[in-house]
Amino acid sequence: MRIAVLASGRGTNFEAIAKGVKEGKIEAELAVLIVDRKGIGAIERAERLGVNWVFVDPYSFPSREAYDLKVVSILKHLKVELVCLAGYRKLLSEPFVDAFPNRILNIHPALLPSFPGLKPHWQAITYGVKISGATVHLVDKGVDSGPIVIQCAVPVSPDDTPESLSLKLLSWEHRIYPQAVKWFVDGRVEVKGRRVFVKGADYSTLPVVPALEDF
């Protein structure tokens, strides 16, 4: 399976997926990294890992849909079958989502459906939750509203800040995201409406459900 990653920032989750491919844990080809900003960490990581990257300037297009259609055309040209958003700061338009039905993954640093959208760590701490987490989900036409593939949970301490909570979750993100990608590549994911099932997975353990197998 050929996969692609879209990123807008540091690219740490991109690197986690790329390393999974490079180490042979994910039996796929990472076809391309597409970025919408120059001078970001994701580009540096791609060059270090030997992954082809493409910059598509969003300001060169008359509309968001036109920009997305250009990205889709690149992905289709490269015969990409699975798209992974990794810190990608743009909401996908309907034409993009329609081009890859149930084939776009995203990671969000909260236990969805709680705290979607921007500043999830700040939202969680402000609300006063005692447990937070991260979610890998399929992308639909809403904001962080697609069917959930895998989640992890971490405790929230009274002295946590958005920054400390982010750091606490990051190492888990780097494990659950490549795991979800591997399940898709291995053909073990079945989507039934809002419910996602991973064939043969262990749903009985915490802090990650389904349980990690390879990362």
Element (H, E) at 180: helix 162-185
Encode pLDDT of 33-56 as tens digits: 999 999 999 999 999 999 999 999
Q: How sure is the predictor about 84, in pLDDT bands with cuts at 50, 70 and 90?
A: very high
Q: Give me the residue label for tokens 């990650």.
A: 208
Average pLDDT for the chain = 97
148/182 same-domain check? yes
Q: Give me the residue label for tokens 């259609």.
A: 69
Amino acid sitting at position 61 = F
Quote the pLDDT of residue 125: 98
22/80 same-domain check? yes
42 within 8 A of 14, measured Cβ to Cβ: yes
Q: Where are the beta strands (DSSP E) in the chain?
A: 2-7, 29-35, 53-55, 82-86, 104-108, 131-138, 148-155, 189-192, 195-198, 208-209
pTM for the predicted model, two decimal places:
0.96
196/151 same-domain check? yes
Strand order in the sheet with 82-86: 53-55, 29-35, 2-7, 82-86, 104-108, 131-138, 148-155, 208-209
68 within 8 A of 141, measured Cβ to Cβ: no
Element (H, E) at 174: helix 162-185
* pLDDT (mean) for 122-139: 98
92/77 same-domain check? yes
137/156 same-domain check? yes
Which two structure tokens, joined as six digits, stand for 69? 């259609």
Total structural domains in the chain? 2
87/120 same-domain check? no
170/201 same-domain check? yes
Q: How sure is the predictor about 197, in pLDDT bands with cuts at 50, 70 and 90?
A: very high
Amino acid sitting at position 131 = I
3 lies in which domain range?
Answer: 1-100
149 Cβ partners below 8 Å, 6+ apart?
105, 136, 137, 138, 180, 183, 189, 196, 198
87/181 same-domain check? no
* pLDDT (mean) for 176-200: 98
* pLDDT (mean) for 96-104: 98
Quote the pLDDT of residue 169: 97
Exposed, middle or buried by CB within 10 Å (0-12, 13-18, 19+), for 142?
exposed
Q: How sure is the predictor about 131, in pLDDT bands with cuts at 50, 70 and 90?
A: very high
Specify whether 174 is catalytic. no
**Residue 78 is part of a domain; what is its CATH number?**
3.40.50.170
Among the candidates 100, 129, 158, a domain finishes at 100
Q: How sure is the predictor about 12, in pLDDT bands with cuts at 50, 70 and 90?
A: very high
36 within 8 A of 89, measured Cβ to Cβ: yes
33 Cβ partners below 8 Å, 6+ apart?
4, 5, 6, 7, 11, 14, 42, 43, 46, 51, 52, 53, 54
Q: Which 3 state secondary structure label does DSSP give 20?
A: helix
Q: Which of 77, 108, 137, 174 is catalytic?
A: 108
